[in-house]
Structure 1
Amino acid sequence: MIKEPGDASPRPAPPLPPFMVRRSLKKVVKPRREGAGAEALQWREAFVRYLASECQLSANTVAAYRRDLARFHGWLGSRRLANLSVGELAEYPGWLTDLGLASASVARHVVSLKAYCRYLQLEGVLTDNQAALLATPKLWQRVPSVLSATQVIKLLEAPLRGEPLWRRDRAILELLYATGARVSELSTLRLKDTNLEERRITCHGKGDKQRIVPLGKSACTAVADYLEHERPRLARRREPATDFLLLSTRGDRLRRERIWELIKRYAAVAGVTSKLSPHSLRHSFATHLLAGGADLRQVQELLGHASIATTQLYTHVDHSRLKKVHAAYHPRA
């Protein structure tokens, strides 16, 4: 996930969609050429519709493409994309950097631009794809921030009895740490995806990939308490009632941005680091599992990572394991 300055919550980096190897077969009313103003906006929206309908990318990913391309067209101004050389396009990443965007965000914008230009080329709008020659900024691999077991306990106990919706908020924190779920997965979790009798939930990850994740006793108790005492009251505030597990004060689905705000609030109450994010609990979940002796492949499955290389990053965070290895094998340990 990528967080940009001023954003309320992290945003996903969009993958390259399948249209890189095939043309669109969907008949959509499209403008005759790509240019400034209304025509450029129409092409941008046609591209976004294509991502959603034919490539079937998630709503968050499609929204990320739309934001990135809106920013690109803001930089483009009245110029025509077809008239720009690769040298002129190379100024775009520098412009993004001057705005204060992190390297990861700049890299994502370049990927979005390449995908968009490839789409325009396939549709016959561009005869030459100069954006394909753009270099993507190299990214440093950052070790994720992880909470200690003591900090996790303080955070989970931060919602105090008697506070408004403290049961719901405690269930949110327990679920995030117990399952390692992404906030977007938790926000879209439905009642039918929650099985407290079998102590498991079904997460719908990126690309609507499903995975079953076990629940611990504490998480089950917190969710059951919320379902019994708070959710029925919240559900009555909306007609017809929704089947999402976590509800807002109005009875609607609890947005991921709101979950992010709640976590920051309880981090301050618990005295945990101000840099805490929803992904910090996911990082802590994975790191604590590995520290307890879990197999890397099993952790990969629980997190829903497509590549084990992503999961392998957590092996660098487990300091206790590294200390044991160092003590056992280094001659001067």
Structure 2
Amino acid sequence: MSFHLLKEAFKEYLQIEKNVSPYTLKFYLDDLDFFFLFLKTEGMDDVKDVDYAVIRVYLTRLYDQKLTRRSVSRKLSSLRTFFRFLEREKKVDANPLISVSLPKTEKPIPDFLYEEELAKLFTVSDLNTPLGQRNQALLELLYATGMRVSECVQLTLSHVDFSIGTVLVKGKGNKERYIPFGNYARDALMRYIENGREVLLKKSRLDSEIIFLNMRGKPLTTRGVRTILKSMVDKASLTVHVHPHKIRHTFATHLLNEGADLRSVQELLGHEHLSSTQIYTHVTRDHLRNIYMNTHPRA
């Protein structure tokens, strides 16, 4: 099969069987195009000819282009998945990346807000206006659930169960999870849905079930959420940079600092692998060390 046909078959596999997001799909296919270009420059036109030695040369090319270890690791990971697919489809005899180790990448420690900083954000919205009610409900829900901004803007009225205080979230790969929320988020959401949202919805004359709407009554976008948070930061006169994912980091860090177990936080965040959640332990270790140094008699 030609490179083009192999790419199309792999694309179909990623979309249908792996159910990857459009964002992930783009990276996989871009990485594959990058590899195919390398093969052509090497005079190779058949993936069956790719062996360990070829992959080592490819790895050298990647480092020659001054790519970061993170980028190299991602490209190799994409290739490993591609050749695993080819092996399953009997297009190659073996996966040439099976014995190639991915370069270790340093995971950055997540940035988060301290409780004092976050508290200021909850005081800036005018709860007598539709937009103020929306902004407060948005901030309360993001912090109460730790959901991704992409998950938040997709929420509909039917996803929220006020009787038991849970929200149904559809995450990556259309995986669903229930997340509880407390009274602060409940009160803010009910106030907005019963008042401010109705006012905003009339502006668009749409029959929409989406919870969070923009000033024209249309569904709020992820960019819109970032703009709202920036505006709230400015009103609170904070000098920190706040984005939706930082609220998610804050949610996880505060839970772990207060004694939540890692597995529970993993489930709440919708992480497929525990290693994705473990990054927050770097932050909580600093917190525990500070407590120890300030309280132990012989610290």
TM-score (norm 1): 0.71
Amino acid at match of 1:94: Y
1:51 deviation in Å?
2.0
Equivalent position of 2:26 in the other structure = 66
Q: Secondary structure at the match of 1:213?
A: strand
Q: State whether structure 2 residue 11 is matched by structure 1 residue 44.
A: no
Distance 2:108 2:275 in 1: 13
Note closer, same or farther for the CA distance 1:44–1:315 as it changes in structure 2 (3 Å cut): same
Could you tell me which of 172, 185, 203 is aligned with 1:219?
A: 185
Say whether the 8 Å CA contact 1:118–1:129 is kept in structure 2. yes
Note closer, same or farther for the CA distance 1:65–1:328 as it changes in structure 2 (3 Å cut): same
Distance 1:109 1:158 in 2: 44
1:114 deviation in Å?
1.8
Amino acid at match of 2:120: K
Note closer, same or farther for the CA distance 1:86–1:320 as it changes in structure 2 (3 Å cut): closer
Q: State whether structure 2 residue 291 is matched by structure 1 residue 324.
A: yes
Equivalent position of 2:165 in the other structure = 199
For residues 283-302 of structure 1, the aligned pairs below 5 Å read 283-302=249-268
Distance 1:108 1:126 in 2: 22
Distance 2:234 2:63 in 1: 36
Say whether the 8 Å CA contact 2:124–2:235 is kept in structure 1. yes
Q: Secondary structure at the match of 2:292?
A: helix
1:250 deviation in Å?
5.7
Equivalent position of 2:115 in the other structure = 149
Equivalent position of 2:57 in the other structure = 88
Equivalent position of 1:174 in the other structure = 140
Distance 1:159 1:90 in 2: 52
1:76 deviation in Å?
3.9
Say whether the 8 Å CA contact 1:296–1:311 is kept in structure 2. yes
Could you tell me which of 210, 213, 220 is aligned with 1:244?
A: 210
Amino acid at match of 2:146: G
1:132 deviation in Å?
4.2
For structure 1, the residue ranges without an aligned partner over 5 or more in a row are: 1-32
Q: Secondary structure at the match of 1:317?
A: helix
Amino acid at match of 1:51: L
Note closer, same or farther for the CA distance 1:291–1:74 as it changes in structure 2 (3 Å cut): closer
Could you tell me which of 171, 176, 179 is aligned with 1:210?
A: 176
Distance 1:46 1:136 in 2: 25
1:163 deviation in Å?
7.6
Equivalent position of 1:34 in the other structure = 2
1:138 deviation in Å?
0.4
CA deviation string 1:287-323 (max 9, x = no partner): 2223334344443443334455544443432344333
Distance 2:200 2:69 in 1: 41
Distance 1:321 1:287 in 2: 12
Q: Secondary structure at the match of 1:165?
A: helix
Q: Secondary structure at the match of 2:155?
A: coil
CA deviation string 1:189-237 (max 9, x = no partner): 2211112233221223334443332222221222122212333344456
For structure 2, the residue ranges without an aligned partner over 5 or more in a row are: none
CA deviation string 1:54-84 (max 9, x = no partner): 23x24x2x43132342254156438146366
1:159 deviation in Å?
4.3
After superposition, the CA RMSD in angstroms is 3.4
Q: Higher helix share goes to which structure?
A: 2
